[in-house]
Amino acid sequence: MIYVIGHKSPDSDSVCSAIAVTELKRQLGIKCEARVAGDINAESKFILEKFGMEVPEVLDNAEDEDIILVDHSDLSQGVDGLEEARVVGIVDHHKLGDVETSVPVEVLIRPLGCTCTIIKGLFDYYRKEISKDIAGIMLCAILSDSVIFKSPTCTDEDRDAVADLAKIAGVGDVEGLGMEMFRVKSDVEGTSAKDLVMGDYKDFNMGGKKVGVGQLELVDLKMLDGREDELLEEMERLKDDGRDAVFLMLTDIMREGTMLLCVSRDAGLREEVFGENEDGWYDGMMSRKKQVVPKLEEFFG
């Protein structure tokens, strides 16, 4: 049995791409099962419920298992025990991470806005049918990762994939669906500071430094009014647990920018890396992968 799994703090692309790759492999005669590396968020639950899909089971430890990684290839972001797993494949849209293998493996990494766009291309390449439900969740994953086409990571191939998948899934109003998803994602009432920070959070090894970057995408940042101090307190706890810096992107998808929170061992790190900004708002900052992580890696590297 091969388990297909995304990163910890699973987002919609991580969850949906695991399900989609599993279905493709099944059609190719390879026995796989989709798994997640933790509880899924409200947006992902909404997507799966909308298209009648079950939530994959959680895989707590990958030691001695055959694994296909989706939406990541960094050990720091992967399920526990990944160092002792047999990684037999990777499908991702980020930079190549530090996963090592003992045998040759299938690796497909492309600079697109979403892993599910890559998987759409794989279905086309193998001439395999995409069912209505699988098309629906892949479509939603692309809308989520591309922030309804507003992210600088979004490509024409992502837009074309959405158009094709929408026809299969029977979705007429693509942007309306995207806004419905983000309204679900933006419902932060009653959500703890820990869950807000960790909902879409990743650790990175940057020049021997452990740096965490989370992102919370909202339709209106006013939904977080009065909660900045508790978010910073949770970030401080993460920093004190062995990290040199922790960043949290509070991204307003309507204003198309980010309020960037930072706690660090070095005062003034945010301004040093991203430029002086009195209130922490960075207009046009939408992508962790393209606009935040590369600058941090350059600084710490």
Task: List the domains of the chain with CATH numbers.
Answer: 2-183 (3.90.1640.10), 193-300 (3.10.310.20)
Beta carbons within 8 Å of 196's beta carbon, 6+ residues apart: 188, 216, 224, 227, 231, 234
Residue from 219, 65, 231 nearest 147 by CA: 219
Residue from 166, 200, 5, 155 nearest 91 by CA: 5
8 Å CB contact between 93 and 117:
yes
The span from the CA of 71 to the CA of 16, in Å, is 10
* DSSP designation for 250: E
pTM of the model: 0.88
The length of the chain, given as a count of residues:
301
pLDDT values of the chain reduced to their tens digit, one per residue, 301 residues: 999 999 999 999 999 999 999 999 999 999 999 999 999 999 999 999 999 999 999 999 999 999 999 999 999 999 999 999 999 999 999 999 999 988 899 999 999 999 999 999 999 999 999 999 999 999 999 999 999 999 999 999 999 999 999 999 999 999 999 999 999 988 888 889 999 999 899 999 999 999 999 999 999 999 999 899 999 999 999 999 999 999 999 999 999 999 999 999 888 899 999 998 878 999 999 999 999 999 999 999 8
Which pLDDT value is given to residue 114?
98
Residue from 249, 42, 14 nearest 145 by CA: 14
Which pLDDT value is given to residue 186?
87
Which pLDDT value is given to residue 268?
87
The span from the CA of 60 to the CA of 274, in Å, is 36
Which pLDDT value is given to residue 129?
98
- Three-class SS state of 113: coil
Which pLDDT value is given to residue 242?
94
Matching residue, tokens 């959405």: 162
Amino acid (one-letter) located at 263: V
The span from the CA of 277 to the CA of 268, in Å, is 11
Q: Rounded to the nearest 5°, which phi and psi values hold at 115?
A: -60, -35
